Every structure is written in C-alpha cells, then in structure tokens.
Amino acid sequence: MCGRFALVVERRILELLFQIELLEEIGFRYNIAPTELLPAVRHRPGGENELIRLRWGLVPSWAKGKPGGTGLINIRAETAASKFGSAFRRRRVLLPASGFYEWRREGKVKQPYYMQRQDRRPFAFGGLYENSRREPERPENCAIITTAANSLIEPLHHRMPLIVPEELYPLWLDPAAPPEQLRQILQPFPAEELEAYPVSRAVNSPAFDHPDCIRKES
C-alpha cells in the first residue's frame, strides 16, 4: 500500500519533469498523509499539462449514499479498470514524489522504512481522481494505484505504489490512450532501481513533517 510519502523537489525540476509551469511554490514536504491536498499533474484540454490540488481520499462515483470519512487512499491495479472504469479511462493523474514509507514489525515495534530511487531522482505515482458531485463542497479527490510488491518492498509489505516510468508520462496522461496500453503500465517498479533504509519512528505521527523523517537511522 502507500499511506505516507515525501515530496522534496526543487520547483524548476518539477517543471521540467512534468512539462508544466508552476504559478505557486509547492514547498518541501517530508510526511504527506491521507486527507491532505496533494499536488497532481493532469492533462488539460488543449494539449497541455497542469498542476492541480486533489484531496487524498477518493470517493468513487458509484458510492451509495452520502460519502464520508477519508475515502480510498489506494486502488488496486488489478481492479482499477473494472471497478473505477470511468476514472481509469478519463481521470488519470501523476502524483509527484521523492520517496515513500512502509513499516515492518520488528519485535514489539513497527519500524518505518523510506524508499527512494537509487539515483535520487523524483518520480510520480499513478493515480485516479474523482469529482464529488453529491458534495459540491468536497474538493476533487484522488487515490494512488498500488501493484504487487517488488522483491525490495515485499519483506515490508505485499503491495507497493504504482511508479509510472518517466518515458510513459505522456501515455498515462493522454485521455485517448488505449486501455490495453494503460494496463501494461500497471507493473511493479524494478527493485534494482530503488533503495530502502530505516528512518526515525517519529514519522509515525502525521504531524511530524521535518527533514529528520527521511534521515537514515544508524
């Protein structure tokens, strides 16, 4: 799964990576948690990408009754197209990140680990978003797609977030992309391109948003 992540990337790098122009500072974040507003990149009618803010916690369009709570923070890749067909076809986004967290039980405690690319480059999760038609006051909301874990993540958790390869960003955001090509993207990111290391248990608190979150524990 993916329940926490970090975004520590310079503004100009984000602009180059996602081919967008940022009109506001994003700011460094070290411990992003569900229900927060996330920066997300989507394809805008007219052929350009744009950065928007989405609440992390998706309320499906088919949910019965008045939705509440945090919504879905993750969507399984295996059922994304079947259970969330409209969003999978029309409302795909890229969620910029520099790393993410997962926990492993070690004795009586749960030890957090931080995962990032070996080359330290920023990347993007693949996500879906929805419009809350029944609650106009609710902001547009999103969830991160997850896949089976690769060999690096598997000892920590059996799921991992979908990391979209950089060269496939245009395809993922293209509203006319064939579904069969999109399904081919729904694969675990190569283990050899990631690294994982233990970090402070202070990250367990969503209120703790500090560079120490991503500092390697000795």
Candidate list 10, 102, 135, 142, residue with the active-site label: 102
Q: Are 1 and 159 in contact (CB under 8 A)?
A: yes
Round to whole Å and give the CA distance between 138 and 121: 33
Nearest to 125 by CA among 145, 109, 153, 111: 145
Active site residue 2: yes
- Phi/psi at 13 (5° precision): -65, -40
Residue 162 sits at φ, ψ, to 5 deg, of: -70, 120
Catalytic residue among 2, 130, 140, 213: 2
Annotated active-site residue 102? The verdict is yes
Q: Which of 185, 180, 155, 160 lies closest to 170, judged by CA?
A: 185
Residues assigned a catalytic role = 2, 102
